[in-house]
Chains A and B, each alone.
Chain A
Amino acid sequence: MRIIFTLIACFTFIQIINAQVPEDAVRYSWYPQNGTARALAFGGAMGSLGGDVTAAFVNPAGIGFYKTNEAAFSPAFILNNAKTNYRGNNLQQKQKNFSLGTSGFVIAVPNSFDSKKSNAFAIAFTQNANFNNVIRYKGLNNFSSYSEKFVEEFVGLNTTIDNVLNTNSIAPYTAATALYTYLIDTVRVNGTVIVKGAPEYILDAKQALMQEMTKTTKGGMYELGFSFAGNDGEKLLWGATVGIPIVSYESNTLFSENDTSSNTANNFKSFSFNDNFKTTGAGINAKVGIIFRPKEYIRLGLAVHTPTYMSLTDSRQSFLRTELENPIQTEETSSDRFTENKRGEARYIQSTPLRVIASGSYVFREVEDVTKQRGFISADIEYVNHKGSRFSSDAEQPTIDEQAYYKQLNAVVKDIYKGNVNLRLGGEVKFNTIMGRLGFGYYGNPYKDAPVKSNMLTMSGGLGYRNKGFFIDLTYVHLVSKDFDIPYRLQNTQTVYADVKQQRGNIAATVGVKF
C-alpha cells in the first residue's frame, strides 16, 4: 500500500518536513452528509432508501434499486456566517462560495434470465467536506501569549539558538522566525537562563495583550466513487463502492498580539505571525452495504465505510514581524530564510475513521405508476469512530524519531477524540410530478474533553419536479454548528479558546435526466 501511495506522490525533492497535528484528524471525519438536492432535502437519510445517486456514498446497496439509467448534476451555493466570542469580545464574519453536491451517472443492467433480478453501475462525484470558511476573533488576554508556544517548542528541541538559525533549520516556521526577530530570546532570571517571549513582559506587568486571529480556509474533500450493486429478487439488495477521495485544503492563519498601553519602554509593541499551509493528496476507501426488504414498503439498511487511506502532502510557509521596545527595533522574516528559500514540504499517510450506518425507511406505495406514488420517511443512525484516525510516515523505513512522533501523535488523537453518533431523518410527499420534502440532521460531539460540547444541526426543505424524463430539485439546508477554535496550546497551562457559532445556508439544486 505504501508503494502505491509513494507512486501517487510526486518524486521531486524539495525540503521535506513532516507536519501533522491532531487537529488534522477531525477535519476529514466530522462533516455533515452531502448529496443531491433531493437527498439533502430529507436530511441525507439515504442509508436504506436507495434509488438516488447519493446512495453510492452512503449505502451502495441503494444503487441496486435503479432499473432505469440516470445522469444528475448538483451545483450548490453556500453562505457562511461565523460568530465568535473570544474572552468576552464578539465578532462576526460572513463568507460565500460555490459547492458541489453529488453528481454522476447510473446505468441499470436488467438480468436477461430473471426479471426479478437486476444490477446497476454508478460513477459519481461528491464533495464530502467543504473547507471554505473565515473565522475571525479578537480580544484582550491577560493570561498567556502565542509567543510562549514558540518558547516551548524551542526549549523542547533542547538545542542551541545557532542550530535553529540555519538555512536548513530543524524548526523553520516557528522557533527560527521567532528567534531571528527576537520575539523570543534567552534571559537570565534568578541566575538561571530561561527562554522568554517579549509579550510576556506585558503579562508580567499584569497588563493584557490584544490578540487577533483571522483564519481563512479553502478547498474541500472530494470523492470519486465507482459503485456496483445488485437486486436479488426485490428482497435483498447489496452494493459496494470503491471511493477515491481527493483532498485540497488551504489554511492561511494571521495571528497578532499588540501592547495596548502607551508605555513605550516595556520591551514589546507588537508581532504578527502569518502561517500558510496547503494540504493536497488522494486516497482510497471502500463502502459496502445491504438493504433488506422484510415486507413490501419497508426497507432496512446496513452500511460500513472502511477507513480512507490517504497519501497527503503539506507545503508550508510562515512570515513573522516583531516590533520591540526599549530599545525600539523592528525585525521581520519569512520561513524561506530557514528552508533554503523554498517552501517546506511534508508527506505522510493519514487514515480516517471507520463508519457504520444503520437505517430504516417506509415507502408509501412502491408502485410503478408515478401518479400513485405518495411519499416516504427515512432515518439513519451513524457511528463514526473519530479516535480511530491514524497518521504514519510515508517513508519505507521511518526513522526512530519519526516512529516516536507518530506513536505519540496517534496516542493524542486517541486521547482527545471519541466516537460519536449522527442522526438523519426526513421524508417526502409526492403529488404526481411535484414533490415536497423536509429533513433534519444531528451530528454529535467528536471531542472527548473539550471546552464546548460541539455539535451540528441541519434543517432542510425542498421541492422537486419530475416529468417527461427530466427532473429538477431545489433545496435549502440551514446548518447551525457549535464549535471552538484554539489559537495555540501550552504545556501545563489552561488552553485559551474562542467559541465559534456558525450558521450556514446551503442552496442546492440538482438537474437530471432519465435515459
Chain B
Amino acid sequence: MKTVLFFLAIIALASCSTAYKSGQTPDDIYYAKGRTVVENKNRYERVEKVYEDRQIRMAAYDYRWRTLDAQYDYDYRYNPYSYGYNYGYYYNPYYCSFPVYNNNVVFVNPKNTTIRTTNLNSYNNNISVYTPTKSNGTLRTTVVRGYNNDNNQTIRNTDYRTDNNSNRTYTPSSSNNSSNNNSNSAPASTGTPVQRPSKGSIKNLEQDNLLAFLKSKM
C-alpha cells in the first residue's frame, strides 16, 4: 500500500505545473498574495439578479412560476423541489405532505459467540507498603500497585498453597452460567469436545508430524 501511495504521490506532483517558474515560491506561513480577483461592490444586487433570471427561465416551462411573488414566496425559490412541511408548498409540483422514509433497509448484525476476557482483576493488584511520614518518621501504610524488576528484592507469593485461595482453587461450578471471580459468567463451549493427550505419554512430535504428512499424501 505504501509503495502504491508513493508512486501515486510522485505522479501527482510531477503532473503539477507551477505558476511560479520564474519567480519566488510564495510562503503561506509568512504571507502570500492570493490570486487577483475583481472586487465586486454590488454583491447583493448581483445575487438578486441571479434569482430573477432563474424565475424567468422556470416560468417559460411552468405557469405556476409566473404567479410567483418574490417579495413573499422567498423560501421555495431556492429549491422548488423541496419535500415535507415547507412553507409555500402549493407552488411545488413535487409536493408531498409528509417526509419520505425508506423502511425497507435491513441491517445484519455480526454474530457474537463468547467473550474472551483478560483478567482485569490483575490490574488492581494493590499492595500495602510502609513509608515513613515526613513529619516524625513514623511508618504509614500506602496502597500502591506493586511492580518489580529485580530478583534480589522479591519474595514469591505462595498463597496458592492455602486452601482458601480462590485464585487457584479448582471448584468448577455445576452451572456454567453462575457468577465467578471475574464477575463474568462462563458460557458453555458450543463445539465438540477435544480430547487432550494422555498424561505421561512420550511423544515424538517430529514422528507425529511425519505420519500426518504421509497420511495427507495417501
Contacts and interface: CB of A to CB of B under 8 A. Distances in A.
Interface stretch (A163-171, A253-261, A278-286): A163-171
Contacts of A496: 147-149
B124 A11 contact: no
Q: Which are the 3 A-B pairs with shortest beta-carbon distances? A: A469-B18, A168-B191, A167-B191
12 contacts: A6-B107, A6-B109, A16-B110, A17-B114, A20-B118, A87-B150, A153-B118, A156-B119, A157-B180, A163-B176, A166-B194, A409-B120
B187 A401 contact: yes
Nearest to B205: A330
B190 interface: yes
B71 interface: no
Contacts of B108: 11
Nearest to B173: A158
A328 B202 contact: yes
Interface in B185-210: 185-197, 199-203, 205
Contact of B194 (A167, A347, A511): A167
B161 interface: yes
B2 interface: yes
B119 A113 contact: no
Interface string A456-485: 000000000011111100000000000000
Given A18-B115, A514-B19, A514-B20, A7 B107 contact: yes
B110 A433 contact: no
B122 A490 contact: yes
A472 B179 CA distance: 63
Contact of B151 (A88, A114, A430): A88
A85 B149 contact: yes
Contacts of B202: 327-329
A346 B116 contact: yes
A502 to B, nearest CB: 17
A4 B38 CA distance: 45
B26 to A, nearest CB: 5
A329 B118 contact: no
A295 B117 CA distance: 56
A404 B183 contact: yes
B123 A75 contact: no
Contacts of B184: 156, 401, 404-405
A98 interface: yes
Interface stretch (B6-14, B48-56, B61-69, B74-82): B6-14
A410 to B, nearest CB: 10
Interface of A: 3, 6-7, 9, 11, 13, 15-22, 49-52, 65-68, 70-71, 73, 75, 85-88, 98, 100, 103, 108, 110-115, 118, 125, 140-144, 149, 151-153, 155-173, 176, 179-180, 182, 185-186, 189-196, 203-204, 208, 327-332, 337-338, 340, 344, 346-347, 363, 365-368, 370-371, 373, 376, 393-396, 399-402, 404-405, 408-409, 412, 415-416, 430, 433, 449-451, 466-471, 489-499, 511-515
B188 to A, nearest CB: 6
A340 B114 CA distance: 13
Contacts of A66: 28, 32
Contacts of A13: 110-111
A494 B12 CA distance: 55
Interface string B3-43: 00110011011001111111111111111111101111001
Contacts of A402: 112, 115
Contacts of A204: 158
A165 B193 contact: yes
A67 B32 contact: yes
A506 B88 CA distance: 62
Given A402-B115, A497-B149, A70 B169 contact: no
B18 A494 contact: no
Given A49-B29, A467-B25, A469-B20, A499 B149 contact: yes
Nearest to B121: A491
B113 interface: yes
Contacts of B201: 329
Nearest to B114: A170
A112 B115 contact: no
A48 to B, nearest CB: 11
Nearest to A369: B24
B103 interface: no
Contacts of B191: 166-169, 338, 340
B137 interface: no
A298 B161 CA distance: 69
Nearest to A364: B30
